[in-house]
Structures are given as C-alpha cells and as structure tokens.
A and B are shown apart, each in its own frame.
Chain A
C-alpha cells in the first residue's frame, strides 16, 4: 500500500492552520470519500499528478492545478452524508494533548467535551448546540434522530480558532443527569454536537455514542452502598462440607424475589480469620445485587484444605438454596456466574480451587470451570507455586496493601509474594496495590500488622473503601457485562477515583489483557531474550544504562540496592516462574526504541499504546528523584513523522515506591508496576498527520525535556491494545 506523501502532509498542516472553516466544501474534493477534505485527499491528487483518473475533480481529464485548488478551497470541510462519529467526552488536561477521551465519569465530577479542529470540520466563530441524550442504540438513532437533552436543555457553544485546547467545553448542569441505573453502577448517555442546530441528529453533526455503546457512562460511586436493601442470614449450616467448617453467612438483596437469577459471590477468609469478619464486603456486594456467602475456611492445614472448603461451600449453597434462609434465594442463584474472593491463605485457596477444577482433580457439582468468571485474591500467600496456585485464564484481580506486615512481600520468603499469582494469570488481570493498607485492614478484626511510615496508615476504613469499590467494579465487568467499568482498573486516580476512596490514598494499578483480546505485543520479554531484540522480533536500540532483561525476581534476599541484583525489588516470579521483564536507569536525556516489524505496523484499529512501568526501589537514582517519575512515548511512522506524548500529561506519575523500611538498608519497598496507557488518538491530536497504519517505531524517552532527569525503571508488556 502506498504511503501518503510527505509533501501532502506538510501542505496539509499549513492549510489546516490557514483555511479552517473558511470556505464551503466541494464534496467532489473528498477524493477518498471519508467525509472530510484533508491531507489524504491532497495526497491522492499529488499521487496521480499529471495522470487521468483518481483526483480529477474538475473533470478536465487530467489531475492538475485546478484539482488542487478545489481541494484547498474545501479544506477540512465536511462532506458527510451522515453524522460524524467521534469521541467527544473527555477529561481536560493541563498540557498536550489537552483532552483525555474516556467514557466513565463519576457523578459530581467534571464532564467536558473537546473538538479538535485539525481533525473535525468545524468553523471558528460558529455556534453549535451540545446535547446529552439518554443512550440510544444505533438502530434507535436511526429511527429517532430527535435530540432531547437529559439535562433539561441543550448547551450552546462557540467554536474557536486554534487548537483543541481552545475547543474544550465543560458541560453544565450535569447534576440534572439521572444516575439511577438499577443494578448497574452507571447509566449511558450519548453526546451530540448539533452543528446545524436543527434539533436532530443529522448530516454533519458530531456524535459520541452512535453505536450500541453509549458515549459516556455516568456512574455512581462503586464504593458507596448500592440501591438495594440487604438481608443477612447470620449463619447457616452447609451440608457435605468438611467437618468443623460447615458454617457460613449469607447476604442477599431483600427484594431478591423481584430480581431474577443473580450471580453468586463466595468469600473465603484467611488463616486465623473468621467468616464473620467480612460484613462490610458482603453487605456492600449484596446491596448491588449479588448473593454473597462467607464461609468457614479450613486454612490451618494449608492451601489444599482451604480450596476444598471453598469448593464445597460453593456446591453446598447451590444445592441448598431451597432451604437456606427459608428458601428466600431459591431459584435466584445464577450458577453460571460465580465470583470467588479469598483473603490471605484463602486468597491462594480460591486460586488453588480454580486450578483443581482446571486440572480435573476436582469435579464440581452444580457449577463448572466456566462458571467461575471472576477471582479476587486479597493479599494472597504463595505456598504452592506455579504448578498448583495458578489462575490460568480466569479473570483475575489482586488487591494488596503495601503496609502488609504478614504477607509482606519480603524478598527472603516467596510465600509472601502475592504478585506471583497475578503474573501467572493468562486471562484479563488487574491489580490494585494500596499504599498504607495492611493485611488485616481488609477484615474487621484481625491483629494490627501495619508496617510502614508513620502517618501513612489508611486503616480499615480506607482499605475497605478500596476493596468495596474495586471488587464491585471487577464483579460488574466480569459477571454483569458492565465492561466499561474496566476504566477503573487503569485510569489514573487523578481522572477517575471512586469518591469513597480518599484522594490522598495512593493506588498503583495494573490492567493486562491477553493477546487474544486483540493486542499487538511488542515486548513481553518472554521470548527473544537479548536486550537488542523484542519479543515480536524487532530491533531494540537504547541509550539508557544498565539494561537487564531477566526474571522479575529479587535474587539476594534484601531490598538493599546492589548492582549485582539488577532486579532488586521485583518479587514477581519465584525460581519456578517465568515472568521476565527489563530494568534500566538514566541520568540524562536517554531512550529505548522498539522497531515495529512490518506485519505489526498497522495499529489504526487499536486504542492504546501501553506498558507496565515501575520505579526500581532503593536505586540511587530513585532515591535522588524522590518522587514520581515521568517519561514520554514517541511514535514514528514510515514517513518519519514522529509524535511525542508525555505520560505526565495525564496528571499521574509513575509513583515513588512506598517508603517502607526493613529488609536491608534504605527506604522503599517492592517495585510497583502500574499500567500506563496512552490513547493513540492523542498522538493524532492537532493534525500531526502520523499514519497509525504504518508505525515503524515506538520510543520511550526519559530525561531532558521528555521526563524525569534521573531514575530507574522496570518495564514489562509493551503493547498496543484495544479498549
């Protein structure tokens, strides 16, 4: 496929500045028929210059100056016969790209739209009306184009000359948007910019949400109580369960009889804990429509026995639903939608339970492997290792406190390495690492095991707020198909935070999707283990220092920095695991660049470029930096066009490791990886002209003007992903 010419792109950039909104469109100039006259059409004209055929707009038999004149005179005018579907809803940013296009907004937080004049045909000085409309499907829009603003009235805006920065508009009166969504956390709305101001969705208008997915998701606080009253059965006796561990507690929506079948959530406590210590979670989840049990768990012998009680209790409540709670939940358990939540040894136990079903060593009755759609481990142990504590392709969530004094993450004991379990997952996995939370903050009554800097403890209330919000979001994504809530798993807290979680609480989040979700993997470090070659086979060139590609494993049993232990602070892989990653440091403007092989260069249908990034704990550069770290990502296309976006634009740096001491000298606990996702759309903002269908390189830049002047990074899973 031929590339657009460099000339066309450069001319396009100049014309975009000079001619925006200055003339009426001649839609014959829309040579490629994409609805807009732009550099693509100019490129088509130039590519066929002096020849008949494509680009002969004026019909004189040859492509020439007359055709180019028509293109110029119609520059960036819309020729659409349909409304233009684009992302409008955004969070405003303080620097380029100036707008972060997202879908989830929590009620009470700012909701804005942004229009990029370089990409969208709008006329400076022209007025338009913005409508926030109750979400309609594509078919519904086809049948009913009438615009009705859910806020009570539409909002007039005036487009400005210049860039996207000047064309951001805070939507007003959003407190009028209804958020009652039944059992869903959020409610969908579509956003329309009514360009011709005719009160209908019509040709030339802009719409965010014309498809079956809504433009935005207007959410309640997932950490706040849900809409339903809850009934609690303080205890019941499960049958067919290991003697001594037959007691369980049940929570369910009081109006369960009106709800139809609902997913089942099973809570498995940890060693020395009790089934009665999770009222906060059982009540919360039931208020959002789940049937929840918390059972006695046989944790003292170990993980195998713990998994047995989880398996047995899951079977028992399904089998006994006709009699438990006097039959109130009879027929209401959807055994095809089950979530398992385990804490501590119970957190490993639920993974072991899944592994046993996967391996065929346990045959469930009343449910099956596919039923268990969501597993959440809270501060799990890792006694059993990769062969037996493996979540395989389950949707897996890990929640862990950085101040845990029990499952502490100490490098001398891999049983205390919770991240091992999430690293083994081959399904959709996300982690939430919570600064200031200890092991027993996630239940009501365990011993105080807090280990961390004075003044950083978030206590039970803080940790449980996080647990309620993020576990609910995970359940809604995986058991109730409210997939948009996945944004909670990766967006920085600066742009999306459950209000119940304190703004001062540091959350370090990862979201990793398997390549089966359509990802284009550039480097996972699992294959092509030389530092000069990426997993996808492309060349890797770097000027950063001290590069080490190896198991994500601290090998010397201490968090004291040592050059002989380049993955100091990484506790992601036991000796039997295979999770590899890369580490490097810098003290100047330096970079690492991944060449993208030809077969992978078209990412135009992808949404993000992303990677997991963390600071190397206790490294001298990290100590010197003593704060959040930033970097830039640069994309380069086949024509040499480069576009740079800074990670700091989104307001949330790669955080400094939790400042915990112990395990040798120095300050800082384990390496904390977080997913940094930059939307590919942001690289196009301003009419950069970069061709996302022909990307030849991805470069990470640090130091200088690109990011922090010094530091050490650990990186994994460099890839292009879909939303």
Chain B
C-alpha cells in the first residue's frame, strides 16, 4: 500500500536534534581525522534508528553500483555509527551495504555523519527479492571493506557478503513505519533526505539557494 505523508511527519521521526540549515564553518582544528577502522566488523556495525519506505513515480539509475540498476523504491534510513567509520576521506571509505533473503544492495548516502554520528541513507530495491513485501524481515546493514560505490559490481557484492559472514554480521528484523512515502522522483527523494540531514546532522546541511538569484554579499 502506498500513501503520502507530509515532510513534517517524517521529520518528527527518529531523533531529537534541532532542525537547522546552516553551512559548516567550524574551525577544523577542533577535529582530527581518525584512523580508518577495519571493516567489516561487529564493532563497526551501525544502528538503524529510523526506516521509511519510499516509492518513486519516476525511476532513476543509481550511481552507487557499477551496473547502475534502475531504482523505483527503497527505504530511507537513518543510521548511528562510530565517528571513525563515518569520517569523510579522500581515499576509499567503507562501503555501506544492505542484505536480505536473496538480495544485496549498495546503500546510497546523503551525508557522512562525522560530526553528528548520524548518517541519512537510502537502500534502493533493485531486485525482485528486495522488492518483496517482507524483505526486511531478516536482513543486515553493515559497513564493508573500503571502496568506491560506483565501482561496486555483483562480484564485489558477493565478496562483501562473504566478508560479512566471516565477520559474524548477523541478520535481524528491521521494522518500518506503516505506510510508504510516495515521491515523484529522485530529486524529491533528495529533498526529503536533505531535510533529514538538516535535522539530524545540521553541520552538513546544504543551504537553500537564494530564490531571486540576487547577489548576497559583496566585498
């Protein structure tokens, strides 16, 4: 069943951070780049604090897989994880992966979450198994080995699955909110995701462009 909920309702879920859209201008000296932890591991598993099913009227091709499969639905999620695994890096970061019965997906993400410990992400449902009604009844979301999502192909997904098994990453049930959120397209999905970022990770929020296009400052 698909229904439409308001953004206000969605934002009310899953956290207590005040909503605030501002640019990050904090002095860098206050934070240092932590060493990259070994992944996958039990210690670096994220905690899922919010899941919202989403359907899209217009599908898109995901940038997070080499094969660029088509996406028309998925789960918008908010994760809590360790800062060292979330820290943005120029070099390869741990891949974010999701897996259930008969499906494995490369998870898209909209912010890093280094400051807040919270990452807003989207699990696309690119396979029939992932689109099954009870796809989250037995599943896992974890940080895999470092890599570039755009280079992630089916073979690498299989390798990551094996690594997760070896690391003892367990399957578990993840509950979703009752109704799916119907959105027009990926742009709308990004809009909702950015609103979540503004709420949960305000230092990473992207300011809304000036409506008029008029210069905002001058020297």
Q: Assess the B31–A379 pair: CB atoms within 8 A.
A: no
| Among listed A100-108, A268-276, A572-580, interface-contacting one | A268-276
Q: Which of B81-100 contact A (CB under 8 A)?
A: 87-93
**Closest CB-CB distance, B206 to chain A, in whole Å?**
6
Q: Assess the B215–A326 pair: CB atoms within 8 A.
A: yes
A247 to B187 Cα, complex, angstroms: 13
Q: Assess the B209–A232 pair: CB atoms within 8 A.
A: no
A415 to B25 Cα, complex, angstroms: 28
A448 to B151 Cα, complex, angstroms: 28
Q: A233-B210, A301-B64 are in contact. Are A415 and B91 (CB under 8 A)?
A: yes
**Closest CB-CB distance, A447 to chain B, in whole Å?**
4
One of B90, B186, B215, B218 near A345 (C-beta < 8 A): B90
Q: A406-B91, A445-B26 are in contact. Are A235 and B148 (CB under 8 A)?
A: no
| Among listed A236-244, A509-517, A627-635, interface-contacting one | A236-244
**Closest CB-CB distance, B26 to chain A, in whole Å?**
6
A406 to B92 Cα, complex, angstroms: 10
| Among listed A161-169, A173-181, A302-310, A533-541, interface-contacting one | A302-310
Q: Which of B182-219 contact A (CB under 8 A)?
A: 185-187, 189-190, 193-194, 204, 206-210, 212-219
A440 to B209 Cα, complex, angstroms: 25
Q: Assess the B23–A244 pair: CB atoms within 8 A.
A: no
A233: nearest chain-B partner, CB-CB: B215
Q: A232-B215, A237-B209 are in contact. Are A304 and B88 (CB under 8 A)?
A: no
One of A236, A300, A449 near B210 (C-beta < 8 A): A236
Please indicate the chain A residues that have their CB under 8 angstroms from the CB of B90 in the complex.
Answer: 270-271, 344-345, 379, 381, 406-407, 416, 439
One of A234, A235, A301, A415 near B150 (C-beta < 8 A): A301
A495 to B212 Cα, complex, angstroms: 49
A554 to B31 Cα, complex, angstroms: 32
| Among listed B45-53, B71-79, B108-116, interface-contacting one | B108-116
Binary interface encoding of chain B residues 118-158 relative to chain A, with 1 for a CB under 8 A from any of its CBs, else 0: 00000000000000000000000000000011110000000
Q: Does B6 make an interface contact (CB < 8 A)?
A: no
**Closest CB-CB distance, A547 to chain B, in whole Å?**
34
Q: Which of B7-43 contact A (CB under 8 A)?
A: 23-29, 31-33
A230 to B218 Cα, complex, angstroms: 6
Main DSSP-derived SS at the B contact region? loop
Main DSSP-derived SS at the A contact region? loop
Q: Assess the B91–A407 pair: CB atoms within 8 A.
A: yes
**Closest CB-CB distance, A236 to chain B, in whole Å?**
5
Instruction: Tell which of A283, A379, A413, A449 has the most Cβ of chain B within 10 Å.
Output: A449
**Closest CB-CB distance, A250 to chain B, in whole Å?**
8
Please indicate the chain B residues that have their CB under 8 angstroms from the CB of A254 in the complex.
Answer: 218-219
Q: Does B101 make an interface contact (CB < 8 A)?
A: no
Q: Does A229 make an interface contact (CB < 8 A)?
A: yes
Q: Assess the A383–B148 pair: CB atoms within 8 A.
A: yes
A296 to B194 Cα, complex, angstroms: 13
One of A439, A445, A448, A449 near B24 (C-beta < 8 A): A445
Q: Assess the B33–A447 pair: CB atoms within 8 A.
A: yes
Q: Assess the A235–B24 pair: CB atoms within 8 A.
A: no
Q: Assess the A232–B27 pair: CB atoms within 8 A.
A: no
Please indicate the chain B residues that have their CB under 8 angstroms from the CB of A305 in the complex.
Answer: 63, 150
A415 to B88 Cα, complex, angstroms: 15
One of A270, A283, A448 near B219 (C-beta < 8 A): A283
Q: Which of A294-341 contact B (CB under 8 A)?
A: 296, 298, 300-305, 323-326, 328
B26: nearest chain-A partner, CB-CB: A445
Q: Assess the A449–B32 pair: CB atoms within 8 A.
A: yes
Q: Which of A243-286 contact B (CB under 8 A)?
A: 243-244, 246-247, 254, 270-274, 276-277, 283
Q: Does A446 make an interface contact (CB < 8 A)?
A: yes
Q: Which of A209-249 contact B (CB under 8 A)?
A: 229-237, 242-244, 246-247
One of B109, B206, B214 near A326 (C-beta < 8 A): B214
Q: Assess the B24–A274 pair: CB atoms within 8 A.
A: yes
A251 to B25 Cα, complex, angstroms: 19
B204: nearest chain-A partner, CB-CB: A274
A283 to B217 Cα, complex, angstroms: 11
Q: Assess the A235–B210 pair: CB atoms within 8 A.
A: yes
Q: Does A477 make an interface contact (CB < 8 A)?
A: no
Q: Does A444 make an interface contact (CB < 8 A)?
A: yes
Q: Assess the A272–B112 pair: CB atoms within 8 A.
A: yes
Instruction: Tell which of B25, B88, B151, B187 has the most Cβ of chain A within 10 Å.
Output: B88
A380: nearest chain-B partner, CB-CB: B90
One of A304, A325, A345 near B213 (C-beta < 8 A): A325
Please indicate the chain A residues that have their CB under 8 angstroms from the CB of B213 in the complex.
Answer: 233, 236, 323-326
B31: nearest chain-A partner, CB-CB: A447
Q: Does A405 make an interface contact (CB < 8 A)?
A: yes
A406: nearest chain-B partner, CB-CB: B90
Q: Assess the A232–B148 pair: CB atoms within 8 A.
A: no
Q: Assess the B23–A232 pair: CB atoms within 8 A.
A: no
Q: Which of A589-633 contact B (CB under 8 A)?
A: none
A323 to B214 Cα, complex, angstroms: 9
**Closest CB-CB distance, B94 to chain A, in whole Å?**
12
Q: Assess the A234–B33 pair: CB atoms within 8 A.
A: no
Q: Assess the B149–A300 pair: CB atoms within 8 A.
A: yes
**Closest CB-CB distance, A251 to chain B, in whole Å?**
9
Q: Assess the B150–A448 pair: CB atoms within 8 A.
A: no
Q: Assess the B218–A303 pair: CB atoms within 8 A.
A: no
One of A271, A298, A448 near B89 (C-beta < 8 A): A271
Please indicate the chain B residues that have their CB under 8 angstroms from the CB of A231 in the complex.
Answer: 215, 217-219
- Starting from the known contacts A231-B217, A301-B149, 9 additional A-B residue pairs (CB-CB under 8 Å) come to A229-B219, A233-B213, A235-B216, A246-B209, A272-B88, A301-B150, A305-B150, A325-B215, A439-B90
Chain B interfacial positions (CB closer than 8 Å to A):
23-29, 31-33, 60, 63-64, 87-93, 108-110, 112, 114, 148-151, 185-187, 189-190, 193-194, 204, 206-210, 212-219
Chain A interfacial positions (CB closer than 8 Å to B):
229-237, 242-244, 246-247, 254, 270-274, 276-277, 283, 287, 296, 298, 300-305, 323-326, 328, 344-345, 379, 381, 383, 405-407, 413, 415-416, 439-440, 444-449, 460
- 27 CB contacts below 8 A, A to B, read A230-B219, A233-B215, A234-B207, A235-B210, A235-B216, A242-B63, A244-B194, A247-B206, A247-B209, A270-B90, A271-B89, A271-B93, A272-B89, A274-B24, A276-B24, A277-B24, A303-B150, A304-B150, A325-B213, A326-B215, A328-B215, A344-B90, A381-B91, A406-B90, A444-B28, A446-B28, A460-B28
